[in-house]
Structure 1
Amino acid sequence: MNDKQQQGYDLYYRSAKNALRQGNYSQAMTDLGYCHILSKNAYRKHVKIHWMMLVIGVKSGNVKEVRVQLFRCLMAFATDPFFAGTEPNGNPGDSNYGFFDKLAIPEALQEYFQ
């Protein structure tokens, strides 16, 4: 993660924490999805984002999200050191997308990858 990506990560992580405190789980998941994209090659941060998504799944009562994030927390913890540095893509890491789905990086994040 370069300095520009770190700045974006920090911005969206703070926003996610604020949204979570306010009970706005949808906004928190969107912001964490952006953090997930920005932290693809930052092991600890990537695992942390999946953990936060799991917490939101529990708080919101979203059983599908809890199930998916339990698996992804385990996989991120076990595999990220081997895949760190792979090309980031726009997959936000939530239960609406497959583990290996490759998506375009969202317009809102383009500036962090230039």
Structure 2
Amino acid sequence: MRTKLKAAYNLELGEAIRFYKLNEFEDSFHHLERAHILGQSYIIPHTKSHWWMLKVGIKKRNIKEVLGQVTRMIASVIFSRIWVPLGNTGGANVNPMKPMSVPEDLKKILSESET
């Protein structure tokens, strides 16, 4: 993972964890979705974003999210380096195979990490 991409991923994950510790789970999940978009092509960051989404699902007692994140964690280990749906936010509320539009600020970071 290139330096700028890694820094952006770590920033989003850090914000997610900060909000998680404050029991602000909606804000936490928002940053986890952004971290997921940035890290989904890399096994450890991808799986880590799903791990934290699982933790949020447990805290919110959302069984759909919990079950969805368990399956997504397994898939992240298998598929991260093979194929990922660009822009997919990683929550159980979206089809795990569906590409989605990438927010402009993240699009810039992702395109810079390709060069």
Give the deviation of 1:108 after TM superposition. 3.2
Residue 62 (structure 1) aligns with: 62
Partners of 2:65 and 2:39 in 1: how far apart? 20
Query: Higher RCO, 1 or 2 (CA under 8 Å, sep at least 6)?
Result: 1
Q: Does 1:40 align with 2:40?
A: yes
Residue 95 (structure 1) aligns with: 92
Partners of 1:87 and 1:93 in 2: how far apart? 10
Runs of 4+ in 1 over 2 A off after TM superposition: 85-88
TM-score of the superposed pair, with normalisation by structure 1:
0.88
> What's the C-alpha RMSD, in Å, of the aligned pairs?
1.6
Gaps of at least 5 residues in structure 1 are none
Give aligned-pair identity as a percent: 28
Residue 16 (structure 1) aligns with: 16
Gaps of at least 5 residues in structure 2 are none
Partners of 1:38 and 1:88 in 2: how far apart? 12
Render the CA deviation track for 1:10-30: whole Å, top value 9, x for unaligned: 110110010000011111111
Partners of 2:27 and 2:104 in 1: how far apart? 17
Quick check: 2:85–2:98 contact (8 Å CA) kept in 1?
A: no
TM-score of the superposed pair, with normalisation by structure 2:
0.87
Quick check: 1:37–1:91 contact (8 Å CA) kept in 2?
A: yes
Give the deviation of 1:39 after TM superposition. 0.7
Letter aligned with residue 95 of structure 1: A
Partners of 2:94 and 2:85 in 1: how far apart? 15
